[in-house]
Structure 1
Amino acid sequence: MQQNFNFLTSPLANKIVAKGDEYLYFGGTAYLGIPQNSNFIKLYTEGIALYGLNNGTSRGNNVQLGVYNEAETFAANRFGAEAALITSSGYLAAKLTVRLRLHGHCGEIRYAPNTHPALWLNGSPENYLDFAQWSKEIVTEINGSKSKDWVLLSNSMNNLYPEIYDFSFIKNFSTNKNITLIIDDSHGIGLLNGGNSVLQSLPKSTNVEIIVVASMAKALGLDAGVVLGSTKSISKLKQSDEFYGASPPAAAGLYAFVQAQDIYRSSYKKLQENVKIFKQQLANKNEWHFVDDFPVFLSKQPAIMQRLLEKKILISSFPYPDRNGENLNRIVLSSWHSETDILQLVAAL
């Protein structure tokens, strides 16, 4: 049974107040602690002073704030792409990319397991394989098919279990196939490959075009979305009705993003220190599932949420993807946790 909490955030982001009590909190997706980082908030405030609270005009307006193009150029360089497009949300970034690339597409479309709904075109794609098995089977299918054009859609990782996906299989496609690979990196951007994105680990292949979409609202702490790809693809996306007509994210946040690279680096370092401390202190690692350098720990103990709740520690616990299924009990570490917080958690376990 899922237990829901409506809470007011206390001054310290690692703690929340719910039902009149204060809880040490290990959940959410603010992996780098940016939403409560005082130095980042200072930069955001500077951005508000420069650009105001929001920008309700579209990117097609004849008068534009230069910070949008600046942030897109910066994001492309930062994450290893030729070009970038920034939208008001990761969901919009994914939807406009999928709509433009898949509507009217005459080739074959395939979804990897657990692909995020933002990448779905029509309804839920059924795929019950694990990623490793799927990657083997998709290479066999494509290479053995008469179809030349393919679009593959996938997350960069499964943040719930967790698992970071291996895309080395794309080197094995026949060179006479034209393949577009669209990857949702929402939980990886700012964390994978030393604090960068999935792009840095992907093999290059002349017949595989890679487009990465991501929410910037998780590790990066911004209410925005980004698309990373070739100059040609990004230019085409910028001509879409969705991009042309939609209001962009707050310029103040993008100003902070561009200025905050030292903050991101130090927050990433702190997060990795927290992950190391927690892994070293875990008494029985067989009761947990986790991967190196990612701050999510899935518990195999069904009653752990209630047991920790009694000790005023609140973790992530909800059923997914089946809302009527068993709860996934996960401990999520953040840069805002102190060593004292982690040791208190370990003692409670």
Structure 2
Amino acid sequence: MTSDFKSISQPFSNTIEIDGTAYLYFGGTAYLGIPQNEEFIKLYIKGIKLFGLNNGTSRANNIQLGIYNEAENVAAKRFGAESALITSSGYLAAQLTVKALSTTGQVIYAPATHPALWLENQPLVLKSFSDWKAETIQLINNSKQQSWVIISNSMNNLFPEIYDFSFLEEIHGDKKIMLIVDDSHGIGINNNGLGTYCDLPKKDNIDAVVVASMAKALGVDAGLVLGSKEIINKLKNTNTFVGASPPPAAALYAFINGNEIYKRAWNSLQKNIELLESKIKISGKFEAGFPVFHFEDSNLAERLFTHKILISSFSYPNANDALINRIVLSSWHTNADILKISSVI
């Protein structure tokens, strides 16, 4: 690949034009195509006219815009939680939550946990999620330690695998568990768009908290925390939350009023997923209903590039490791786009 793909000066969409050449684009995390959704953009512009470009005041200020509390109430109801907190980014939401709640017990990290959830250095967990959860059950049940904090992604989006947390129900009832789950890639997509919160274990000894970036499927630059009223109130009293500026009110206006747009985009995405699955044989990993397809063919990106098609392709976890090649679908893809990449594959 000789073109410069590090200095793109246009919005991402199903196509990107570089040096006068148009490429089909199957990468990124805009799963619902919200950044190019005209209806959603109109809502966002209306929000700007109502609330201005930004709001650089603390949520602890004595004079407040009411839309922040409104957006939190809407988010809690929409995703099945008792209460919610919204910050300016997913990273801030995760760091705020982990730092405030990690003191409640001994911390255990699941494999491949996102860096936004790290307290300090990368936690080294080099095993599968299945092996890890079996070891975790045994470790907690056999320990004298009573309180534990378990931190995990809701899924692995690189080698798509949605995690099942029902294993926590096997932990003895006298153990207190704080479960913190990052659902940045699942919220708005998985579980009919509801994400993972409403499917997490519900037991007296388990407190579940979900953190998420709203900048992926939901298409707004903000972070979200879902949990009980008690936990959310605790997080809202932290110095981090009090000292940080909130996201633009216009973005939350679009989020509040864009639910039908999200639903239509989700339906379009599912049709795109079904079409691709019907046309090609997946050689790697994928999860039903999730728009990311991993391919074991290390030359796939180069081969597609010769046909003016760009996919997600990078080395992981280290720069010298083998390429991870993935096709990422979005609601903005057309049938013609999917048929084109299918024919090449």
Same fold at TM > 0.5 = yes
Instruction: Report whether the alignment pairs 1:55 with 2:73.
Output: no
- Give 1:291 deviation, angstroms: 1.2
C-alpha distance after superposition, 1:258-280 (max 9, x if no partner): 00010000000000000000000
Query: Could you say what secondary structure the match of 2:74 adopts?
Result: helix
One-letter amino acid of the counterpart of residue 326, structure 1: A
- CA distance in 1: counterparts of 2:195 and 2:320, whole angstroms: 33
Q: Partner letter of residue 68 of structure 2?
A: Y
- After superposition, the Cα gap between the structure-2 partners of 1:166 and 1:238, relative to the gap in structure 1 and judged at 3 Å, is same
Equivalent of residue 200 in structure 1, options 198, 201, 223: 198
Change over 3 Å in CA distance of 1:308–1:82 after alignment to 2? same
Q: Which residue of 1 is the match for residue 32 of structure 2? A: 32
Structure 2 residue 209 is the aligned partner of structure 1 residue 211: yes
1:135 alignment partner in structure 2: 133
Q: Which runs of 5+ in 2 are unaligned?
A: none
Partner SS state of residue 288, structure 1 = coil
Equivalent pair of 1:193/1:200 in contact (CA under 8 Å): no
The one-letter code sitting in structure 1 at the alignment partner of 2:87 is: T
Distance in structure 1 (CA, Å) of the matches to 2:126 and 2:176: 25
Aligned to 1:334: 330
Quote how far apart the aligned CAs of 1:2 are. Answer: 11
Q: Is the 8 A contact 2:81 2:198 kept in 1?
A: no
Provide Cα deviations, 1:50-87, integer angstroms capped at 9, x if missing partner.
00011111111111000000000000011111100000
- After superposition, the Cα gap between the structure-2 partners of 1:209 and 1:188, relative to the gap in structure 1 and judged at 3 Å, is same
In the alignment, structure 1 segments of 5+ residues that lack a partner are none
Query: Structure 1 pair 11/86, CA: closer, same or farther in 2 (3 Å)?
Result: closer
* Offset, 1:18: 2.3
User: Is the contact made by 2:197 and 2:209 (CA closer than 8 Å) also made in structure 1?
Assistant: no
Q: CA 1:209/1:268 → structure 2, altered by over 3 Å: closer, same or farther?
A: same
% identical aligned pairs: 54
Matching residue's letter, 1:177: K
State whether structure 2 residue 243 is matched by structure 1 residue 245: yes
- Residue of structure 2 equivalent to 1:20: 20
- Give the 3 Å change call, closer, same or farther, for CA 11–229 of structure 1 in structure 2: closer
Q: CA deviation at 1:247?
A: 0.6
Classify 1:164/1:4 alpha carbon distance in 2 versus 1 (closer, same or farther; 3 Å). farther
Q: For residues 1-349 of structure 1, what are the structure 2 equivalents within 5 Å?
A: 5-8=5-8, 13-103=13-103, 105=104, 107-282=105-280, 284-285=281-282, 287-349=283-345
Instruction: Tell me by how many angstroms 1:108 deviates.
Output: 1.4
Which one-letter code corresponds to 2:164 in the other structure? Answer: D
- CA separation in 1, counterparts of 2:3 and 2:300? 13
Distance 1:291 1:3 in 2: 32
Q: How far does the alpha carbon of each residue in 1:244-300 deviate from its partner, in whole angstroms, 9 at most, with x for none?
A: 011100000000000001000000000000000000000x33x23211000001111
CA distance in 1, matches of 2:2, 2:23: 17
Distance (Å, rounded) in 1 between the aligned partners of 2:120 and 2:49: 43
Of 230-239 and 8-17, the range deviating more from structure 2: 8-17
Alpha-carbon RMSD across the aligned residues, in angstroms, is: 1.5
Report the TM-score when normalising by structure 2.
0.97
Aligned length: 345
Shift of 1:122: 1.8
Tell me the alpha carbon deviations over residues 90-119 of structure 1, each in whole angstroms, 9 at most, x when there is no partner.
00000011111124x4x3110000001111
Alpha-carbon separation, structure 2, partners of 1:54 and 1:2: 39
**Relative to structure 2, which stretch is displaced further, 291-300 or 94-103?**
94-103
Bigger drift between 318-327 and 287-296 goes to 318-327
